[in-house]
Amino acid sequence: MKSTTIYDVAKEAGVSIATVSNAINGKGKVSKKRKDEIFKVMERLKYQPSVIASALMGKKTYTIGLLIPDVSNPFFAEIARTVEDLAHSEGYSVIVCSTDNRDERVEKYIRLLEQKNVDGILIGTGMENSEILAQLAEKDLAIVMIAREASSIAVHSVVTNDFRGGTLAAEHLLGHGHTRMAVLAEDMRVTSSLERVRGFRFGLFEAGITLGEEHIETCGSGIKDGKRATVELLRSKDRPTAIFCCNDLLAIGALQAAKEAGVRVPEDLSVVGFDDTILSTVTNPSLTTISQPMDQMAQLAFNLLMNPPESSEIKQRIIMQPELVIRESTGTLQ
Amino acid sequence: MKSTTIYDVAKEAGVSIATVSNAINGKGKVSKKRKDEIFKVMERLKYQPSVIASALMGKKTYTIGLLIPDVSNPFFAEIARTVEDLAHSEGYSVIVCSTDNRDERVEKYIRLLEQKNVDGILIGTGMENSEILAQLAEKDLAIVMIAREASSIAVHSVVTNDFRGGTLAAEHLLGHGHTRMAVLAEDMRVTSSLERVRGFRFGLFEAGITLGEEHIETCGSGIKDGKRATVELLRSKDRPTAIFCCNDLLAIGALQAAKEAGVRVPEDLSVVGFDDTILSTVTNPSLTTISQPMDQMAQLAFNLLMNPPESSEIKQRIIMQPELVIRESTGTLQ
DNA sequence: CTGAAAGCGCTTACAG
DNA sequence: CTGAAAGCGCTTACAG
């Protein structure tokens, strides 16, 4: 069943398609009477303008792309939801793209999004090779990075002060008297993770404690990875009394490893996560973690995407402050 | 910067745009030599065909819509990821639509998807008013329901035997000697929840136990809802010794309520969830739950969407079997 | 095997 | 205020 087109309503209303188009878009001048007539016909015929056709004429597609490592990771699922709601309220749809932080996927997705003429891309994924981004930045496609750094490429970005987040974690742990600590870092592609580690290290450094390379475990970013790495740590002779994990998933893995090893949290081991996802409220003990103001970040990023600043040469970089959320997984050694 | 069009490559290759189009689509006959030439030019010019333009000619948009209650709910986030991967591997993008099970949202999203000419819609959301669906079913848009029933409307669907799932939960709990049980049901819009309750009831009935209406709490579908309802239940005089929750989120709420009330799980109270999301592995105690073969379901639903059976009059209804996953939240009363 | 031409459903100057 | 016409970037018969 062919759907009704602008021709159908034009014929039905006894006007030209140009007039119908003008009426719909509030362009040109159309007499009130004609306009009412047209709208009545549109209603009767259940006419819905084709986004495809109007996009072909250089109008928007009312679609944006959201690149994230993985929607099934609660942190990104929450971002996706927020972005989706914002977009929806402005008539946009969002195409979700899980990249697993893999360059081929990033590249393939971006190409797909370009072919579909999306109006903008929100990038919250890490990537090895920023060439892809560099190429993108040269086209006139709107791009905003969210919760990730765009090393050296000129794009707008909304990020959390990850360094500060790491330092917050360090200070909290130091406050509980810990001195032998370890870090679970995500893999090198995610720049935010690196910053967190740096910040953590800096916090310890300020307190006169050095965190050796051997106490930084670079693992994946899932629960299993965190568990595996923690099993290692707990086995070592100078076992740490506290672990800072660069995301909540890793922290949960740490919790599980501790439980299996009979190590009590927080009595024998403190664990700090990052992101403050729903998961951190669900574990037992619940997770002390560093939170980012995700809703605000999504809001700002979306706005930047839709209404880029006039002077397009200057790229904005909005930095949000993280917060320490104290729950049950941290405490003083007993 | 205008992107390169088929005209650019045609001119560059010294052929007509028709020939370029044919070469790309493998239509008509184009001599090997010309074809090679054309592809070389395309590469050089970094030509990417416009999906928009070809969609306007009645071709596919290579985009599908996924309607779910909420991407930030891990169960649906996992579905979204699976669907996304399947779609992506066939060159499709997926527009994720979180409906909160609210009709206005469902309606608005569907309209949006129609205007964008998506090639199909996967529906995993509940809705009060099936009229929307009925209207949709009349158009020639491909639709498949996943993990939700389409009451009385003729559409393809891939569902879990929710009734059986409820019964499995009942049998498991009965096996541990429980007799005073309660149910946390999601709200009425989600038909799957109703089936689960019915199945649970049936299981008890077969064992000669009647589950009164007063032991069925209809709440929302989030953690908070589950917690609130459980607080109520634990307060009642003939407090239940086991609770069957229609999803994992509710079950987690139950766990939290129990913890706060000093009720031990599973010693004093058993809790069974549904869905087997990542959350169920993360709680402490971890959650006994009923799992659905989500990957398979997504796979089947996607196939049905892309390759609907010939005789389009007959709608398929694929039913998957749920499984009991025993973890730590259930046991014999002590 | 290849190209000229029509058309998909819109929007946008441009006349009137 | 309103309409005829061109054009967006493709695909598809139809000739040759």
Inter-residue long-range contacts of B53-61, CB under 8 Å, 24+ positions, other chains counted:
B53/A56, B55/A52, B55/B117, B56/A50, B56/A52, B56/A53, B56/A56, B60/B119, B61/A52, B61/A116, B61/B116, B61/B117, B61/B118, B61/B119
pTM above 0.85, yes or no: yes
- Strand D within 7 Å of which CB atoms in B 53-92? 53-54, 56-59
**Which amino acid is present at A117?**
N
Tens of pLDDT, residue by residue over A105-130, are 999 999 999 999 999 999 998 777 76
Length of chain B: 334
Query: What is the tens place of the pLDDT at every residue in A208-264?
Result: 999 988 899 999 889 999 999 999 999 988 899 999 999 999 999 999 999 999 999
Q: Do A74 and B77 touch (CB under 8 A)?
A: yes
Mutual angle of helices B74-89 and A74-89, in 10-degree steps: 80
Q: What are phi and psi of A151, to 5 degrees?
A: -55, 110
What's residue B35's pLDDT? 84
Contact residues on chain A for B77, CB-CB shorter than 8 A: 71-74, 77, 80
Of the candidates A269, A245, A274, which has an alpha carbon nearest to the alpha carbon of residue A259? A269
What is the per-residue pLDDT across B3-42, written as a single tens digit (0 to 9) for each?
A: 789 999 998 888 889 999 988 888 767 788 888 889 999 9
Query: What are chain A's domains?
Result: 6-49 (1.10.260.40), 63-160+294-320 (3.40.50.2300), 162-293 (3.40.50.2300)
* Low-confidence residues in chain B, pLDDT < 50: none
Amino acid B58 CA to nucleotide D3 C1' distance, rounded Å:
28
The Cα A253–Cα A250 span in angstroms is 5
pLDDT range class, residue A1, cuts 50, 70, 90: low
* Separation of alpha carbons A321 and A323, rounded Å: 7
Candidates A128, A93, A126, A96; CA nearest to A112 is A96
Q: Using the CA of A19, which nucleotide's C1' is the nearest one?
A: D2
Say which DSSP state B100 is in. T
* Terminal-residue alpha carbon distance, chain A: 73
Q: Does pLDDT of A295 surpass 70?
A: yes
- Crossing angle between the packed helical segments B6-13 and B32-45, to the nearest 10 degrees: 120
Contact A56 B53 (CB under 8 A): yes
Comparison of pLDDT for A191 and B258, the residue scoring more: B258
Residue from B47, B83, B115 whose CB has the most chain A CBs within 10 Å, to mutate: B115
- pLDDT confidence bin for A151, thresholds 50/70/90: low
Q: Which residues of A touch B78 (CB under 8 A)?
A: 72
| pLDDT computed for residue B30 by the predictor | 75
How far does the CA of B19 sit from the C1' of C9, in Å? 24
> Which pLDDT score, from 0 to 100, does residue B214 have?
87
Given this model, what pLDDT does residue B36 score?
A: 87
Q: Do A140 and B53 touch (CB under 8 A)?
A: no
Centre a 10 Å sphere on the Cβ of residue A182 and count the other Cβ atoms it contains. 26
Residue range A75-102: mean pLDDT, rounded: 94
Confidence band, pLDDT 50/70/90 cuts, at residue A287: very high
Residue A197, CB, strand C, below 7 Å? no
Between the alpha carbon of residue A29 and those of residues B57, B124, B295, the distances in Å are 31, 44, 54
Task: Kindly determine whether residue A116 and residue B138, on different chains, have CB atoms separated by under 8 Å.
Answer: no
pLDDT at B116: 93
φ, ψ of residue A257 to 5 degrees: the values are -60, -40
Q: CA of B88 and C1' of D14: distance in angstroms?
A: 36
Task: Tell me the C-alpha to C-alpha distance, in Å, between residue B266 and each of A176, B74, B284.
Answer: 33, 24, 11
Q: What is the mean pLDDT of chain A?
A: 91
